[in-house]
Amino acid sequence: MLNLPTSVEEITEETKRAFNAFDLQKKLEQATLAVSCSDLSAIQAIQLPSECTDFKEGCKGRDMEGAVTLDWRVDPFASMSDLTLLVYDGSGSGGVPYYVHTLTLVHGGRKSGFVAEQMKLQQSGKRSHNNCAGDYKIEIYVPPLAAKHIPEFLDYVYGRELKITTSNAPPLRYLANRFDLRDLYKDISTKFIPVDLEIGTAPIYCTLADQLKDFELRDRAIKVMAERMDKLNINSVKNLSPRLMRSLVQCEKLECSSEELSEKVAIWLRLHRELEQARDEALIGDYYGVDESRNASASSVRKDNNETMTDEDFYWITHVQFMPKIAPSEALFYFKFGSQYPQVMNEVGSGSLKSRCLAAFSGKWAVDKLAAHVENKDAKPFDLYENLDLESKVELLEASLVGAKKMLAEKDEASKQQDVKDKDAKRSDEIMYKTNYESSSSSSPADKIMKVVVMGCGVQPANGIYIYKESGIDERTSSGSNLINNNTIVYEKEAIWNQKRVTFVLYPTTAGQYYSQHKLAIRQSNSQQTKTLYNSPTVMGLSGVIPELAWEVEVFTTALSVSTTAADNMCKTTAISEGNPLLQSWAAQPFHLPPFEEINPGHFQPALEAAMEAHIADLEAIASCTDNDFDSILGAYDRAGSLYSKVGGVYGNYISSLNTPDMQEVQSAMAPILSRHRSKCYNIPGLFEKMTSMYDIREEMANKGEWTAEQVRLAERVYTAFVRMGVKLNEEEKKEYGDIQVELATLQTKFMQNILKDEETWEMVITAEDMAGCPEDLVAAARQAAVDRGHEGADEYVITLGRSLVEPFLTYSTRRDLRKKAFDAWTSRGELSEERDNLAIATKILRLRKRQANLMGHTTFSEYQTEDTMAQNPENVMNLCMDVWKRAKEAADKERAMMESFLSEKGDELEGGIQPWDWRFYAEQVRQANFNFDESELKPYLSLDAVTNAVFDVSNKLYGLKYVKRDDIKAYHKDVNVYEVRRAKKDSPDEDELVAIFLHDNFSRAHKSSGAWMSEYRTQTKNLIEGADPIEGVPIVSNNNNFAKGSGATLLSFDDGTTLFHEMGHGHHGMLSDCTYEYLASTSVLKDFVELPSQLMEHWLEEPVVLKEHAKHYKTGETVPDDLLARLKAASLFNEGFATVEYTACALLDMAVHSLSEYDDDFDLSEFEKKYLAEIGMPQGIVMRHRPAHFAHLFASSSYASGYYVYQWAQVLDNDVFAAFQETGDVFDAETAERCRRCIYSAGNTVAPQDLFKAFRGREPDTSFFLKNKGFFLKNKGMA
């Protein structure tokens, strides 16, 4: 047995002895040669490493990027540091991987901590302050295949005796884990970890375990730290990565109040970032790995574990909970390098990083330093400032001057005016705009004469314009009134440009009276082109570019007064912002697609405001137009608001597909504004009179042959829309109607956001054992959901409230308790938190809708809504739904009896009988037993790729559409695929023409609404503005699904495949649209017709000819067996009663609750639901598919309110239409497909829907096809 070394000499001696024992010296030449030549076979032949110096020489020039460093006990104050382990994990050139391990054996006594500190300093490239540091270490460099001998070497050095008090055990454990020495790993874990893992060692275990993917130990270490937070040494957490720090502060075992948590974590994070000592920006840059002298990028921050900081890391490190206030020096740093993390820096709201950075510059410190910097007295605090971009400079200095204004607000007005006149006094409190020009031209003064153009809006700045220059020339104009209503003041002063520096200052009136919407531009006197320097449509904003002139321009401040003016009284925006991608031309983008990669949430509000203003201007021009022909009125009305449609198309898709917290803020702010805009569009003086004049002459013009049928239809639909928006009401009623619309928009937005929040936050974390009964693809999806939500434990699985996860879990899980837990949460979305009470919101919506209907002359909202539908009134809706309801209940009762019989035969008894969380599970058991059909057997044949290919092929065979994938075009998310949709030209079949652009967004993710839908970025039209590119009339269609994404192939259930086909039916409605006017195009049809094109498409997935061609096994490529298809068909009608009851109950309750004539103060929506369902005889064990608190169709918008029945109404139509294909004997019959395209998909709303159906079928709809396909005319197979 060897004793532990007690001196440097002994360390050296023991090391030499170890070398000799393993005959390391003999391998020196081989190792050096093998590494230098990148000879893999030679490396494999080497069993033991060479000495350090020569081997290290052989590694020179190797790529060490991404090296991982593991430090064991390098705390400078630890007394047990007798081993430091540094592991560099990199890649050698020539494709030869290698590891370099540095083992540092140091004295185990009092000085060991010092030696470890010196080793750490030397490794990080910092200068040691003690010359003896190098005397205490021996380094050995080991190639990869010899790494397995390291434990043997250490065991030899330490005498093969491992004691609990020996501090070399943990490194041995990690070496054993890394090099798969399981016996040694188990031995060390058993002997040492239980004792050694305590509050002092937990941070080190946490880091090392995380790097070696030992998640069990990592989580144990986090738990120890969380439970003993008060005993945790702050210094010991400095090396935790942002992700581990995040795991710590989010640990459920954290025994601390939120206030204590915030305070302590704030201290830890500041220490972690080394910013308490980093008042000098150079230190901040040093921590983040930024070399200021070279302006190096901060894209990768330097931390001890060499992790790359992600947006999420940066978000949590700078989160307002942990860092409520930011020092000015830190603010400078974040503004300069925050562009690396745009999602964080572009957040909006009072707690955002940008707002806190700006707040840091509103204090006395920043104002004082600013003054010193401007006067060139002290530039030190602003080293980083000089390298900021123009916009960041303006924003920061803008904030500093706002702070100055606040500090000086107590001074009286007389004192302020005196400060203005005294050029040597501080004038920060009055500066609104200051620009310095420095002449770099040697041309004559006359050549340097420029015009300064100031355009103001709305409110008069009483002090006018003040021109100041350092030579002492002062000029002021008192003609501030000329700034009203966009009038222009022009200054053309040769004298002022003779000076080196010239300053322009625009003074405000009392704070709160001057809105910042004005423009400052400059131009040379001999030029007609004006260069915009400042043009802001919003308070505190800046856009524009530095003029391309012979003078260097630097903007110091735009500290503008914040206006209290109401939104309706804002000044007009006179120019489009040059920095907003939503307001720029997209002509350079492929197919004029939106520039997705440039768009962020902060762009939407100013863009929408500018677009609304332009829209109103278009409509006002129509109202005042003296020409009364069709194109000048209705044609122009259809073209009006092109910018609004363009921006609104992107906005609508983002709030559905990328509704991040930032977007939700924008959505909440914009909902009432957009609602007011819609109301305003219908109430522009003189506009309705124009539409009425067109409506009144429509039949006369048609009879004369001067108007087409489509033009007549446009006149009718526009007139109807105006009337239904309340334009015939008196002024008081119009105002009330508009206010109702605004309040509804706000409430509906909140309703949807509450659902989204519940779906994002709720999760059920379970183990592999808890997934018993679930098919392989569901297990994989649950594991992926765990990873996506930050659960990295090897045995962690997550069920979310996404339908693609929770429904399969309810169908297959054998754990009844977990099914109930998932079901209860799923059916309680919108009411899972007291903060998110959607039932109260829905009740307010019901009352507002009832009042809205009363204003329009109706007793109930259902009457008002169904007035403009195919159904025409609530009675017709209820007749259809109640007929189906009776048949569906009978079918459901039979299905229940079959399940009870199944349980009885098995001898199983369920407490309480079959409950809603049991139905899907036992229905699947019966399906398998009675029909020998297991859906999980079918799913391998229905991969997402296979079903997508199938729907594209059906689309091609029916309508000639070809889908060309464009991998070179990036959409708004990496999972979205972009396609060109083409078809043969009618007059030249050998040539293709572009029909549409198609975006396919298939996967569920955070911030994406649940469900499935089709939307458009651009709607088909032929009525383009003169000179417009024809591509502007080509539709951009998006299909959105929410399939669970696993780590491999995405396998779909048959229902999932049906959903994909359904949405493609909507997609066809948009892509095949062939209308002259956008107002009538695509899906702009009556609501009970809109689901016909989508539901019709579902039928083709059920066709054997389609499944045989495309349902291929995702691994083997085998075609789906005929026997499996036969069993699928036999089982297809089973459980149809359950599905129809689920849906029809929703439709009936929708009509019932909207048919109430009063909602008194005691109205309880939840109680109404219970009573009504009991009244109509809701079968036991089934609940509505959408309960009121998450019934987004009803309460997230008004589109489907009193209109959920439309799916069933359309089922009558789509079954009848598909029967026409079946009657030909060929479901791809060309003549029937062409008639279907012409009458169903291409016509939009150019013809009344009942007339379109009759044109296709030659008669009125027949309900028998619908009832037969539901199985309600026949006994379900296997049912008694």
Q: What's the mean pLDDT in 395-405? A: 55
Angle at 1003 between CA 999 and CA 1005, to 5 degrees: 115
| pLDDT score at 81 | 29
- Per-residue confidence (pLDDT) for residue 247, from 0 to 100: 73
Please state which of the ranges 358-362, 842-846, 874-878, 975-979 shows the lowest mean pLDDT.
358-362
pLDDT value of position 353: 77
Question: What pLDDT, on the 0 to 100 scale, is given for residue 1175?
Answer: 96
Average pLDDT (965-973) is: 95
CA distance to 764, 935, 1185, per residue, from 816 (Å):
14, 20, 20
pLDDT at 546: 24
As a whole number of angstroms, the distance between CA 611 and CA 603 comes to: 12
Query: 106 and 136 in contact (C-beta within 8 Å)?
Result: yes
What is the arithmetic mean of pLDDT over 338-367?
Answer: 65
Instruction: Tell me how far CA of residue 525 lies from CA of 159, 447, 496, 647, 816, in angstroms.
Output: 90, 8, 14, 37, 83
Q: In the predicted model, what is the mean pLDDT of the chain?
A: 71
Provide mean pLDDT across the span 778-795: 90
Tell me the three-class secondary structure of 155-221, residue by residue. Answer: HHHCCCCCCCCCCCHHHHHHHHHHCCCHHHHHHHHHHHHHHHCCCCCHHHHHHHHHHCCCHHHHHHH
pLDDT value of residue 154: 44
pLDDT above 50: residue 320: yes
Where is 819: in which H helix or E strand?
Answer: helix 816-826
Give the whole-number percent of the chain exceeding pLDDT 70.
57
Asked if residue 283 has pLDDT above 70, the reply is no
Q: Quick check: 140 pLDDT over 70? A: no
**pLDDT top residue among 61 and 605:** 605
Give the pLDDT score at 1148: 97
pLDDT at 407 over 90: no
Average pLDDT in the 1010-1014 region?
A: 91
pLDDT tier for residue 744 given thresholds of 50, 70 and 90: very high
Q: Which residue has the higher pLDDT, 22 or 1138?
A: 1138
Q: How far is CA 539 from CA 517, 563, 574, in A?
A: 7, 7, 15
Question: What pLDDT is recorded for position 171?
Answer: 47
- Residue-level pLDDT at 419: 53
Confidence at 60, pLDDT banded by 50, 70, 90: very low
Give me the sign of the Cα torsion angle 1005, 1007, 1011, 1016. negative
Query: Which whole number is the average pLDDT over 543-547?
Result: 26
Question: In the predicted model, what is the mean pLDDT of residues 44-64?
Answer: 35
Which of 1032, 1015, 1010 is closest to 1083 using CA atoms? 1015
Domains of the chain: 1-160 (no CATH), 336-341+356-569 (no CATH), 581-726 (1.20.1050), 937-1132 (1.10.1370.40)
Query: Using CA atoms, how far apart are residues 643 and 580, in angstroms rounded to an integer?
Result: 13
Any residues with CB less than 8 A from the CB of 224 and at least 6 apart, and which? 197, 198, 199, 202
Place of tokens 């994989």: 780
pLDDT at residue 324 is higher than 90 = no
Q: How far apart are CA 974 and CA 951, in angstroms?
A: 22
pLDDT at 796: 93
Alpha-carbon distance of 181 to 187, in angstroms, equals 10
Q: Of the ranges 363-367, 470-474, 1080-1084, which one carries the lowest mean pLDDT score?
A: 470-474
Q: What gap in Å lies between CA 223 and CA 793, rounded to an integer?
A: 14
What does the DSSP 8-state code read for residue 836? B
The predicted pLDDT at position 1046 comes to: 74
Give the C-alpha separation, 113 to 82, whole Å.
8
Q: Is the per-residue pLDDT at 279 higher than 90?
A: no
CB 993 within 8 A of CB 979: no
Tokens describing residue 341: 């993390």
Strand partners, 439: 551
Q: Are 1082 and 1034 in contact (CB under 8 A)?
A: no
Residue 1091 region by backbone torsions, left for phi larger than 0, else alpha for psi between -120 and 50, else beta: alpha
The per-residue pLDDT for range 571-620, each reduced to its tens digit, is 223 233 457 899 988 999 999 999 999 999 999 999 999 999 999 999 99
Q: pLDDT tens, 432-454?
A: 233 333 223 333 333 322 233 33
Average pLDDT over residues 1227-1240: 97
pLDDT of res. 226: 77
pLDDT at 230: 65
Give the side-chain half-sphere CA count within 13 A for 823. 23
- Nearest Cα neighbor of 604 from 427, 777, 346 is 346
Q: Model confidence at 369, in pLDDT bands (50, 70, 90)?
A: low
Checking if the pLDDT of 675 tops 70, the result is: yes
Residue 349: the pLDDT is 59
Question: pLDDT at residue 215 above 70?
Answer: yes
For 616-662, what is each residue's pLDDT tens digit?
999 999 999 998 999 999 999 999 999 999 999 999 999 999 989 88
Each residue of 1120-1160: pLDDT tens digit? Answer: 999 999 999 988 888 999 999 999 999 999 999 999 999 99
Phi first, then psi: give them for residue 52, nearest 5 degrees. Answer: -70, -50
Q: Whole-angstrom Cα distance, residue 626 to residue 329?
A: 61
Question: What secondary structure does DSSP assign to 111-165, as a single string?
Answer: THHHHHHHHHHHHTTPPPS-TTGGGG-------GGGGGGHHHHHHHHTTT---TT
Concatenating the DSSP letter of every residue in 975-1015 gives T-EEEEEEEE-SS-TTSEEEEEEEEEEEE--TTS-SS-EEE
Closest Cα partner for 877 from 1141, 1182, 1212, 1197? 1212
Give yes or no for a contact between 117 and 81, defined as CB atoms under 8 angstroms apart: no
- Long-range contacts of 908-914, Cβ-Cβ distance < 8 Å, separation of 24 or more: 910/816, 913/1180, 913/1181, 914/1180, 914/1181
Burial (0-12, 13-18, 19+ Cβ within 10 Å), 432: buried
* Model confidence pLDDT, tens digit, residues 896-935: 999 999 999 988 888 899 999 999 999 999 999 998 998 8
Distance CA 204, CA 17 (A): 31
What's residue 429's pLDDT? 28
Range name among 52-66, 317-331, 912-926, 933-947 with the lowest pLDDT average? 52-66
Q: Is the pLDDT of residue 39 over 80?
A: no
Greater model confidence, 44 or 1133:
1133
Q: Is the pLDDT of residue 522 over 60?
A: no
Q: Which residues are CB-neighbours of 493 under 8 A, at least 6 positions away?
A: 449, 467, 475
Residue 927 contacts residue 937 (beta carbons within 8 Å): no
Q: What is the mean pLDDT of residues 1225-1234?
A: 97
Q: Given pLDDT bands bounded at 50, 70 and 90, which one contains residue 3?
A: very low
Task: Please state the rounded mean pLDDT for residues 528-544.
Answer: 33
More confidently predicted of 921 and 183: 921
Rounded to a whole number of angstroms, the distance between the first and last alpha carbons of the chain is 83
| pLDDT (0 to 100) of residue 941 | 97
**pLDDT band at residue 101 under the 50/70/90 scheme:** very low
- Per-residue pLDDT at 538: 28
Pick 178 or 647 by higher pLDDT.
647
Q: Average the pLDDT over each of 210-224, 1022-1036, 1081-1095, 1165-1179 and give the range with the smallest value.
A: 210-224
Task: Give the pLDDT of residue 426.
Answer: 33
Distance CA 294, CA 285 (A): 11
Which candidate, 1250, 789, 1158, places its Cα nearest to that of 1006? 789
Residues with Cβ within 8 Å of 411's Cβ and at least 6 positions away in sequence, in order, are 429
Q: Three-state SS for 474?
A: strand
With 0-12 / 13-18 / 19 or more C-beta atoms within 10 angstroms meaning exposed / middle / buried, residue 776 is middle
DSSP 932-978: ---HHHHGGG-BHHHHHHHHHHHHHHHH--EEEE-TTS--SSTT-EE
Q: Would you state the pLDDT for residue 193? A: 53
Selected residue with higher pLDDT from 596 and 1278: 596
Q: Taking Cα atoms as reference points, which of 605, 544, 560 lies closest to residue 389? A: 544
Closest of 614, 702, 780, 790 to residue 222, by C-alpha: 790
Helices (H), 658-730: 661-682, 687-696, 698-703, 709-724
